[in-house]
């Protein structure tokens, strides 16, 4: 392969759209598919070729990049693409799919002679749009040079976790990282809700912890989205965070660990989604602190 590749991007939500744009800007030929085509159409102004089917997207592609809702969704779409997949193509699987699903995806890759990379990413809308994601990747050493131009276009750093994508080492690290992100987001929303319910100015709390070990840029960023009513467009949506929280709880349970905070966070996120905040930033879990839609 040369440095200029033909890349198929399947799934153009918040993250996938940004990745497709950055790949096109890096000079790659990019074909993108999304289940709702209208959501992908704006990518045409960035030189991305938007197509109608997964098979059309992957035909002749050097690299297939999937950024879909979950593992079953990724497998379903790849099955639709199967007739047009090129043997020997690389599959960079960036969906946060969960540990069990990664095994199913790797098995599909073997059946279709694809070089499989488990490659979830850390980051939200802003770093995705800037091409500054952190890629957590596992896959064969011999295939890494071939996908390096893709990883370099979408990320600022790649952390390699193993040689076997099917073992799920990158996904495991992603779940650990997301468990912290989700817990911190839930805590940020609750401290804001509690301060308001007790008639405490949130700024008094922020001043109290300023510069000390309890201070966090993330806390201020997420509470700022709530206080300034900037929950849309989402950096990372409530519904997606709820899915990830459930994957974390499931991973813990399957490995003998009870994750009470993650379970409670999943419930908060799902409650916020039911209140109508599903497409807003995950900070909107704040609204789950109240009995009625705030």
Q: Name the average pLDDT for the chain.
A: 96
* The pair of three-digit structure tokens given for residue 52, joined into one six-digit string: 């109608």
For the residues 207-221, what does the mean pLDDT come to?
97
* The pair of three-digit structure tokens given for residue 261, joined into one six-digit string: 């905070």
1-5, 7-11, 274-278: lowest mean pLDDT where?
1-5
Q: How far is CA 209 from the centre of its chain?
A: 31
Are the beta carbons of 275 and 288 closer than 8 angstroms?
Answer: yes
Q: How far is CA 182 from the centre of its chain?
A: 13
pLDDT digits over 116-150, tens only? 999 999 999 999 999 999 999 999 999 999 999 99
Measured distance CA(16)–CA(40) in Å, rounded:
10
pLDDT digits over 10-34, tens only? 999 999 999 999 999 999 999 999 9
Measured distance CA(74)–CA(164) in Å, rounded:
19
For the residues 91-115, what does the mean pLDDT come to?
97
Are the beta carbons of 109 and 115 closer than 8 angstroms?
Answer: yes
For the residues 201-228, what does the mean pLDDT come to?
97
For the residues 200-217, what does the mean pLDDT come to?
97
Predicted confidence at residue 276, as pLDDT, reads 97
Are the beta carbons of 272 and 234 closer than 8 angstroms?
Answer: no
Are the beta carbons of 294 and 196 closer than 8 angstroms?
Answer: no
Measured distance CA(40)–CA(13) in Å, rounded:
8
pTM listed for this prediction: 0.94
pLDDT classification of 46: cutoffs 50, 70, 90: very high
For the residues 155-160, what does the mean pLDDT come to?
98
Radius of gyration of the chain (CA): 20
Measured distance CA(11)–CA(137) in Å, rounded:
19
Q: What is the DSSP string of 45-103?
A: GGT-EE-SSHHHHHTT-SEEEE--SSHHHHHHHHHHHGGGPPTT-EEEE-S---HHHHH
Are the beta carbons of 20 and 9 closer than 8 angstroms?
Answer: yes
Predicted confidence at residue 139, as pLDDT, reads 98
**Angle subtended at Cα 32 by Cα 96 and Cα 176, rounded to the nearest 5 degrees:** 10
Predicted confidence at residue 17, as pLDDT, reads 98
Predicted confidence at residue 294, as pLDDT, reads 47
pLDDT classification of 2: cutoffs 50, 70, 90: low
Predicted confidence at residue 1, as pLDDT, reads 43
Are the beta carbons of 227 and 286 closer than 8 angstroms?
Answer: no
* The pair of three-digit structure tokens given for residue 236, joined into one six-digit string: 């990372």
Helix ranges (H only) for 162-258 are 169-197, 202-209, 217-227, 238-254
pLDDT digits over 173-195, tens only? 999 999 999 999 999 999 999 99
Measured distance CA(34)–CA(27) in Å, rounded:
21
Predicted confidence at residue 215, as pLDDT, reads 97
pLDDT classification of 3: cutoffs 50, 70, 90: confident
How far, CA to CA in Å, does 3 sit from each of 19, 27, 132, 205, 286? 17, 9, 19, 51, 45
End-to-end CA distance of the chain: 53
The pLDDT of residue 66 is above 60: yes
Measured distance CA(43)–CA(146) in Å, rounded:
25
Are the beta carbons of 62 and 92 closer than 8 angstroms?
Answer: no
Predicted confidence at residue 278, as pLDDT, reads 98
């Amino acid at each position: 392969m040369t440095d200029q590749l033909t890349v198929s991007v399947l799934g153009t939500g918040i993250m996938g759209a940004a990745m497709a744009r950055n790949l096109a800007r890096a000079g790659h030929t990019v074909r993108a598919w999304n289940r709702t085509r209208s959501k992908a159409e704006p990518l045409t102004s960035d030189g991305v070729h938007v197509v109608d089917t997964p098979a059309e997207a992957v035909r002749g592609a050097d690299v297939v990049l999937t950024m879909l809702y979950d593992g079953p969704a990724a497998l379903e779409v790849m099955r639709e693409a199967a007739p047009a997949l090129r043997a020997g193509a690389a599959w960079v699987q960036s969906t946060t799919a969960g540990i069990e699903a990664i095994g199913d995806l790797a098995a599909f890759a073997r059946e279709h002679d694809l070089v499989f990379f488990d490659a979830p990413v850390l980051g939200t809308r802003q770093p995705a749009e800037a091409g500054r994601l952190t890629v957590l990747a596992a896959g064969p050493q011999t295939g890494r040079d071939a996908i390096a131009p893709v990883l370099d276009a979408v990320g600022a750093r790649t952390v390699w976790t193993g040689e076997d994508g099917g073992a799920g080492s990158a996904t495991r690290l992603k779940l650990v990282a997301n468990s912290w992100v989700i817990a911190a987001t839930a805590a940020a929303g609750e401290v804001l809700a509690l301060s308001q319910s007790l008639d405490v100015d949130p700024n008094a709390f922020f001043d109290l912890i300023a510069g000390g070990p309890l201070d966090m840029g993330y806390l201020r960023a997420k509470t700022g989205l709530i206080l300034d009513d900037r929950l849309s467009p989402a950096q990372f949506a409530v519904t997606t965070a709820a899915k990830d929280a459930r994957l974390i709880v499931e991973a813990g349970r399957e490995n003998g660990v009870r994750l009470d905070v993650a379970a409670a966070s999943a419930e908060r996120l799902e409650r916020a989604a039911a209140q109508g905040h599903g497409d807003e930033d995950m900070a909107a879990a704040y609204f789950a602190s109240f009995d009625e839609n705030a």
